[in-house]
Amino acid sequence: MKEIKIGQKAEVFTKVTSDKLAVAVGSGSLKVFATPSMCALMEEAACAAIAPFLDPGETTVGTALSIEHTSPSPQGVTITAEAEITESNGREILLHVMAFDTVGEIGHGTHRRYIVDAEKFQTKANLKK
């Protein structure tokens, strides 16, 4: 693990397609960008912000996500998620996350991730079978 740089940012994008709608993912009955889809995009941005600091064989796992989904977005628009590293305590990393559509902000919050050894973590998970 390399030294984590506070302030490191990343952006990722997605188009709101039918499989990302609340009605499709089971989080509601409307044809709007689903909260779980927004959360997944925020996590993707967080992973991208941390990636430059990982050594070979390391990855991150999310352990907490506290967000507000503040505005709906219809099918067809592009969503941008941003993540910025705000704190680092050893392997624990805290990020500020935000999401925007073509009109403005649609959500924001915080996300915590931990750096782990990918193989060891997967082995531990597989023992639950």
pLDDT tens-digit map of 64-80: 999 999 999 999 999 99
Is residue 2 a part of any domain in this protein? no
The answer as to whether 4 is a domain residue is no
- Given a cut of 80, whether residue 26 has pLDDT beyond it is yes
With respect to residue 1, please indicate whether it lies within any of the assigned structural domains: no
pLDDT of 1 strictly over 90: no
Residue in 81, 109, 111 with CA at minimum distance from that of residue 93: 111
- CATH of residue 70's domain is 3.10.129.10
User: Is the pLDDT score of 28 beyond 80?
Assistant: yes
Instruction: Provide the pLDDT confidence category of residue 8 given band limits of 50, 70 and 90.
Output: very high
According to DSSP, the β-strands at 105-117 and 58-69 are antiparallel
Looking at the chain, the whole-number percentage of residues with pLDDT higher than 70 is 100
- Does residue 28 form part of some domain? yes
pLDDT, averaged across the chain: 97
H/E segment holding residue 89? strand 78-89
Residue span of the structural domain in which 82 resides: 9-126
Residue 3 lies in a domain: no
Residue positions counted in the chain: 129
CA distance 81 to 96: 11
Which pLDDT belongs to residue 69?
A: 98
Query: What is the predicted pLDDT for the residue at 115?
Result: 98
Is residue 49 scored above 90 in pLDDT? yes
14, part of any domain: yes
- The sign one gets for the Cα dihedral 84, 86, 90, 93 is negative
Residue 102 is predicted with a pLDDT of 95
Structurally, the chain folds into a number of domains equal to 1
The number of helices, as runs of H, and strands, as runs of E, in the chain is: 3, 5
pLDDT tens for residues 82-108? 999 999 999 999 999 999 999 999 999
| Whether the predicted pLDDT of 11 surpasses 90 | yes
Residues annotated catalytic, as ranges: 35, 43, 69
Instruction: Give residue 58's pLDDT band: very low, low, confident or very high (50, 70, 90).
Output: very high
